[in-house]
C-alpha cells in the first residue's frame, strides 16, 4: 500500500492581531494581548489508496481545520501535505490545483453549502463543465447519471435545494463532489445533521460509492459509532494534537491512550438496562490557553509529574501509534 495522502508535521495557527483601538488601550495599561490558537499542532499520518480513515475528536480539537487544509481550503502554517507523492502544501501552485480537483469535500450542513438560488442541474454540473469533463450540451445527461448514482430521481434536476429533504440535500452535496470525478473524498461531519434512519441510508451510500468508484475517504466525525462502522483506520485528535492512530478493530477493542479509552467509555450503548455513567472529569480546556505538557493531563486519571511538563511524542509501533508517556517510559 502506497500512501495516497501524506501529512508531515502539519500545523495551523490562527492569530488574532490587535486592532488600532486595542493597541491604544494597551498603551494605557489595558490587559489585552494578541491571541494565538494552535488549531492543529504538528499532525502526521498517511492515508493509503482505497482506505477509509476516520478522524475523531470532540468539538474544537482541530479535526475540521485539518480536513480543510487537506482540501486546500485553508493555508498550512507549517509542515507538508503530499498527494500521491507531489507536494501540495502551497495551494497556489499548479501541482496543488491539479491535485485539488481529485480531492473533494462534503460538508456538514447541505443547506448552507448549496446555493439556494441555483437548480440542482447547475449545482452539480457547473464544475464538471468548467473543468471540461462534460460539455454544456451534455451536462443534463451527465448530471442525470450522477443523480442516479447517489439515489436521486433525475427528474428532480430542475428543482431548487429547498424543495428537498435533509437527506436528499446531502445526496446533492455528494453528487456535486462526485461530478469532477475525484478519487479522494473528505467528509466533514457529513451525516451528523441527519435523522437516524436517513443516516443509515447515507452511510450505505458512502460504502457503495467506495466500492463502485474506488474512492478513498477521510471521514471526519465526532460519532464513534459511525467511525467504527465505516473506517478502516482511526486517527484520534485532542486539542490540536493526534493522540492515537490504530486500525479500527484494534482501537475499539483495546484503546491505548487514556483519552481514547475514556472517549470509548462514554459512547451511549444500545444494551438495555440502567448503566452507570463513568465520566471524564472536566471539559476540554480552551485552545487559547492549553495546559503545558500533555494537553490531556488535567483530565487524565493516570497522569504523573512528567505529563505536566513534557509533551509526549507520537510513537509508532507497527500499524499503531500513540502519544502517551505511559507507552514511553512512564509518567513519573
Partner 1 sequence: MTVLSVENLQTHFFTDAGVVKAVDGVSFSLEEGEVLGLVGESGSGKTVTGFSILRLVDPPGRVTGGRILFRGQDLAKLPDREMRRLRGNRIAMIFQDPMMTLNPVLRIDTQMIEAVQAHEKVSKAAARDRAVQALARVGIPSPAERLNAYPHQFSGGMRQRVAIAIALLNGPDLIIADEPTTALDVTIQSQILAEVQGLARETGTSLIWITHDLAVVAGLADRIAVMYAGRIVESGPASAILTAPAHPYTAGLLGSIPGHGRRGDRLTQIPGMAPNMAHLPPGCAFAPRCPRVSDACRATAPEVTETGAGRALRCLHPLTEAVA
Q: Which C-beta is closer to partner 1: that of 17 or that of 281?
A: 281
| 3-state DSSP of 262-318 | HHHHHCCCCCCCCCCCCCCCCCCCCCCCCCCCCCCHHHCCCCCHHHHHCCCCCEEEC
Q: Does 272 bind partner 1 (CB under 8 A)?
A: yes
Q: Which stretch binds partner 1 (CB under 8 A): 122-130, 165-173, 177-185, 288-296?
A: 165-173
Q: Which C-beta is closer to partner 1: that of 20 or that of 272?
A: 272
- Nearest-10 crossing angle of helices 139-149, 120-130: 110
Number of residues that bind partner 1 (CB under 8 A): 45
- Between β-strands 216-221 and 52-56, what pairing exists: parallel, antiparallel or unpaired? parallel
Q: Which C-beta is closer to partner 1: that of 6 or that of 51?
A: 51
Task: Return the CA Rg of the chain.
Answer: 22
Q: Which of 1, 20, 28, 270 binds partner 1 (CB under 8 A)?
A: 270
- Per-residue interface string for the shown chain with partner 1, residues 191-230, x marking contact by CB under 8 A: ----xxxxxxx-xx--x--------------xxxxxxxxx
The rounded distance, in Å, linking the Cα atoms of 167 and 201 is: 8
Q: Does 266 bind partner 1 (CB under 8 A)?
A: yes
Q: Which of 168, 170, 190, 216 binds partner 1 (CB under 8 A)?
A: 168
Please give the C-alpha separations between residue 57 and each of 275, 292, 312, in angstroms, as whole numbers.
24, 20, 18
Q: Which stretch binds partner 1 (CB under 8 A): 8-16, 23-31, 37-45, 266-274?
A: 266-274
Residues between 41 and 60 that touch partner 1 (CB under 8 A)? 58-59
| Three-class SS state of 105 | strand
What the block records as the C-alpha cell of 66 is 485539518
What the block records as the C-alpha cell of 189 is 461531519
Q: Does 312 bind partner 1 (CB under 8 A)?
A: no
Q: Does 271 bind partner 1 (CB under 8 A)?
A: yes
Q: Which of 32, 267, 302, 315 binds partner 1 (CB under 8 A)?
A: 267
Which strands sit side by side in the sheet containing 216-221, from one edge to the other? 103-106, 184-188, 216-221, 52-56, 233-238, 241-247, 320-322, 315-317
Q: Which C-beta is closer to partner 1: that of 92 or that of 281?
A: 281
Q: Which C-beta is closer to partner 1: that of 22 or that of 232?
A: 232
The rounded distance, in Å, linking the Cα atoms of 4 and 6 is: 7
Q: Which C-beta is closer to partner 1: that of 130 or that of 277?
A: 277
The rounded distance, in Å, linking the Cα atoms of 263 and 229 is: 16
Which residue in the block uniquely carries the three cell numbers 482541530?
62
- Does residue 55 contact residue 224 with C-beta atoms inside 8 Å? no
Q: Which C-beta is closer to partner 1: that of 85 or that of 268?
A: 268
| Least Å from the CB of residue 262 to partner 1 | 7
Site residues, partner 1 (CB under 8 A): 58-59, 165, 167-168, 195-201, 203-204, 207, 222-230, 248-249, 262-263, 266-280, 283-284
Amino acid at each position: 500500500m502506497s500512501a495516497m495522502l501524506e501529512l508531515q508535521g502539519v500545523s495551523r495557527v490562527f492569530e488574532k492581531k490587535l486592532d488600532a483601538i486595542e493597541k491604544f488601550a494597551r498603551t494605557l495599561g489595558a490587559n489585552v494581548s494578541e491571541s494565538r490558537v494552535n488549531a492543529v499542532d504538528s499532525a502526521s499520518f498517511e492515508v493509503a489508496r482505497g482506505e477509509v480513515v476516520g478522524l475523531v475528536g470532540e468539538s474544537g480539537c482541530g479535526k475540521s481545520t485539518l480536513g480543510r487544509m487537506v482540501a486546500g481550503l485553508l493555508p498550512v502554517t507549517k509542515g507538508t501535505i503530499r498527494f500521491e507523492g507531489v507536494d501540495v502544501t502551497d495551494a497556489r501552485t499548479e501541482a496543488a490545483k491539479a491535485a485539488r480537483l481529485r480531492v473533494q469535500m462534503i460538508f456538514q450542513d447541505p443547506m448552507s453549502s448549496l446555493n439556494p438560488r441555483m437548480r440542482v442541474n447547475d449545482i452539480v454540473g457547473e464544475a464538471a463543465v468548467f473543468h471540461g469533463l462534460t460539455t454544456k450540451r451534455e451536462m443534463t445527461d451527465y448530471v442525470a447519471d450522477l443523480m442516479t448514482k447517489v439515489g436521486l430521481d433525475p427528474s428532480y434536476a430542475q428543482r431548487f435545494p429547498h424543495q428537498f429533504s435533509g437527506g436528499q440535500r446531502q445526496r446533492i452535496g455528494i453528487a456535486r463532489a462526485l461530478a469532477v470525478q475525484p478519487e479522494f473524498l473528505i467528509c466533514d461531519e457529513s451525516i451528523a445533521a441527519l435523522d437516524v434512519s436517513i443516516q443509515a441510508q447515507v452511510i450505505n451510500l458512502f460504502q457503495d460509492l467506495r466500492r463502485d468508484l474506488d474512492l478513498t475517504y477521510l471521514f471526519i466525525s465526532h460519532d464513534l459509532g459511525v467511525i467504527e462502522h465505516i473506517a478502516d483506520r482511526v486517527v484520534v485528535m485532542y486539542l490540536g494534537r493526534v493522540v492515537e492512530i490504530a486500525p479500527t478493530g484494534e482501537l475499539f477493542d483495546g484503546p491505548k491512550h487514556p483519552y481514547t479509552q475514556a472517549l470509548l467509555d462514554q459512547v451511549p450503548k444500545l444494551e438495555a438496562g440502567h448503566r452507570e455513567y463513568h465520566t471524564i472529569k472536566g471539559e476540554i480546556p480552551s485552545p487559547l490557553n492549553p495546559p503545558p505538557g500533555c494537553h490531556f493531563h488535567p483530565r487524565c486519571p493516570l497522569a504523573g509529574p512528567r505529563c505536566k511538563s513534557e509533551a509526549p511524542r507520537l510513537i509508532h509501533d507497527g500499524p499503531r501509534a500513540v502519544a502517551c508517556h505511559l507507552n514511553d517510559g512512564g509518567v513519573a
